[in-house]
Copies of this chain bind each other. A is one copy, B any other.
């Protein structure tokens, strides 16, 4: 019967998205998701903007748009890059994407042949791993310490593997919450130039900083046009709108645009227009200021509860922002087995960390905790329940 393509052979769907479906029960306290808090969405503002936009230019928004993106959106994004990141971009350097995920997919299409080596953080964002697997890439893990990927190891692996691509989330990484230090960011840009490796810098969490100073993206150090910066409105405005953007050299953006023509023609105009107005009307900054305290409170509630209820043998990261805390239990612990017990016996969910590794034998003793989706009181309760279970299995 039906012969699917070779790339489908070992791909079974996102483990996390499948787990999500089991977590529909509202009784279960879930640290398993990666969703922004539903309380964070500026529903009334989006509603007013939608109405304003459709009244003003409805028949333009409902018509086909350019693959490159809706003009006001691209200009607003260029303004954001200049103001917030000190990055100078022209229209030819930017592309609207249907969420940041599409940026990763377009980069795979434009750059990867089957068998090409791709370096990824270890652990890495699961969705990206799946996309690279569908591209039949050879995934090579780059070790991390508390400050993110170790650049000496990165250089060795670049020399050894001659990869096409290095994919990373330098700020409040998914799944670890770690942030790559500024000197390492410079070094990544240098290594990309030296070894002619494209860097896909995925930066969806950078605006969710709760303490400390913002760091420049790797792109800010990129003098050789090897870095493609991916931004997203999923963690700041709304993931349901599916709006992101890619920024890079004009020849690279041109190839990504050609790939996007074939992928979905263009991103929905109305969703781009909403994001554009959100930026241009100065609504983003006050919105971010209104949601950060809630996330900080939840993160602190989780860290406090971990301190109180988790066994000391479980080492946790202590992020400055983002949505995730990462835990490492002693080697030998099987967090996948524990996941089932946690859900069934304790009514609490997390993501077993092994899903974030590109090699099967890695990370069985690790877990990812999301603090954005539950109120403070349930975070404390869930962490107490989970801590008890972790202590039991030591």
Q: Residues on A close to B: CB < 8 A?
A: 1-8, 11-14, 17, 35-36, 38-39, 41, 43-44, 46-47, 50-51, 54-55, 58-65, 67, 98-99, 101-102, 104-105, 109-114, 116, 127, 130-131, 134, 164, 196, 198, 225-226, 234, 237-242, 251-252, 254-255, 257-259, 261-271
Contacts and interface: CB of A to CB of B under 8 A. Distances in A.
A113 B261 CA distance: 20
Given A35-B64, A241-B62, A102 B264 contact: yes
A268 B240 contact: yes
B50 A17 contact: no
A241 B270 contact: yes
Nearest to A67: B17
Contact of A112 (B5, B102, B270): B5
5 closest A-B pairs (Cβ-Cβ)? A43-B58, A62-B238, A47-B54, A131-B262, A41-B62
Given A2-B251, A58-B47, A111-B5, A268 B268 contact: yes
Contacts of A251: 2
A255 B101 contact: no
Contacts of A130: 261-262
18 contacts: A2-B225, A2-B251, A3-B111, A4-B255, A5-B109, A5-B110, A5-B112, A13-B254, A43-B54, A50-B270, A63-B239, A98-B242, A239-B265, A240-B269, A241-B269, A241-B270, A242-B264, A271-B271
Nearest to A134: B262
A62 B43 contact: yes
Q: How many copies does the complex hold?
A: 2
A50 B58 CA distance: 12
A4 B253 CA distance: 12
A116 to B, nearest CB: 8
A32 B19 CA distance: 48
Contacts of A271: 268, 270-271
Contacts of A65: 240
Of A13, A38, A130, A257, most B-chain CB atoms within 10 Å: A13
Contact of A98 (B51, B63, B264, B269): B264
Contacts of A99: 264-265
A238 to B, nearest CB: 4
B8 A258 contact: yes
A269 B43 CA distance: 13
Contacts of A2: 111, 196, 198, 225-226, 251-252
Given A38-B63, A271-B271, 12 more contacts: A4-B255, A5-B110, A41-B59, A43-B62, A47-B58, A62-B240, A98-B267, A99-B264, A101-B265, A127-B261, A134-B259, A240-B268
A254 B8 CA distance: 11
Given A110-B5, A262-B127, A58 B41 contact: yes
Contact of A43 (B59, B67, B198, B240): B59
A356 to B, nearest CB: 16
Contacts of A8: 110, 255, 258-259
A314 to B, nearest CB: 28
